[in-house]
Structures are given as structure tokens and as C-alpha cells.
Amino acid sequence: MSHGHQHQTTAYEPEAPDAWHTHTIDEHPQQAHAENVDARSVIIVGILGFGIVIASILFVVVYFSWYVNRLKTEREAFVETTGQPAIHTPALSARAEILNSAFTTFGVVNAEQQTVRVPINAAKERVIEMYKSR
């Protein structure tokens, strides 16, 4: 399909070589970069890199297995000595007791703001009674 105009191109004009391209007779020709690659070195570096990756993966797998087995052994020893499930370690038991008391006992949370703690069951009963009376 013709649009009625002609495309114009610029004529090719080679540039004169600069000082980098011109050499004297005294200069020896240089090899191009990376034209001659030592295949043995490339293969050795590739195999070493692959070996490092495999060794790292094996180390992580072995360490994880060791760590999990150590945790299992500690939990089994805890169950044998205390007779409690392994989830009830002393630190967790103390934290569970604090949380349990927060839901089952009365107490003062902040005396300045006059905030108190009411057991959850008592609070539920009060809310139910309040809505019944409306």
C-alpha cells in the first residue's frame, strides 16, 4: 500500500579508525577477551558450586533432624518426670495460670481510672440480666 511519499535513508559513510583501532608494526596482536575459555576451569568451578549447594542442603536437613529429635527427647523426659503433657512446661503453666486468673477472679486493673476486672461468667450474667430488664 503506497502512501504517496518516499522513505529516505542516509548514505553509509564509514568513519576513519581512531588511535585504538590502528596499531604499529611493533605491537603484537592481542587475543580477544573470552575467546579462549579454559573448559576444565569452568567445569571445576561449576562442580564445586554444585557441591557447595548440595552440602548446604544436607547440613540444613541434618541440623533440622537433630534439633527436632532433641526437642522430642526433652518433651518425653518432661512427661516422664512430671507426668504432665509436654505442652504444660513450667513457663507455659505459669502464663496459663495468670491468664486463667484474669478470667475467673475479681480484681483492680487501674485504681486511678477506677477499672476493675470481673470474671467472664459473672460479666456475661450481668449483661444478660441488663438486656432482660429492658
Of 51, 34, 35, residue with least CA distance to 43: 51
The answer to the question of residue 15 being in a domain is no
| pTM of the predicted protein model | 0.41
Say how many C-beta atoms besides its own lie within 10 A of residue 118's C-beta: 15
The answer to the question of residue 64 being in a domain is yes
The answer to the question of residue 30 being in a domain is no
Rounded to whole angstroms, how far apart are CA atoms 42 and 48?
A: 10
C-alpha cell at 29: 596482536
The answer to the question of residue 114 being in a domain is no
The mean pLDDT value of the chain amounts to 83
The answer to the question of residue 24 being in a domain is no
Domain count, the chain: 1
For residue 40, pLDDT beyond 70: yes
pLDDT tens sequence across 76-85:
887 788 776 6
pLDDT tens sequence across 61-117:
999 999 999 988 888 887 788 776 666 666 777 777 777 777 788 888 888 998 888
Residue 72: domain span = 38-88
The answer to the question of residue 129 being in a domain is no
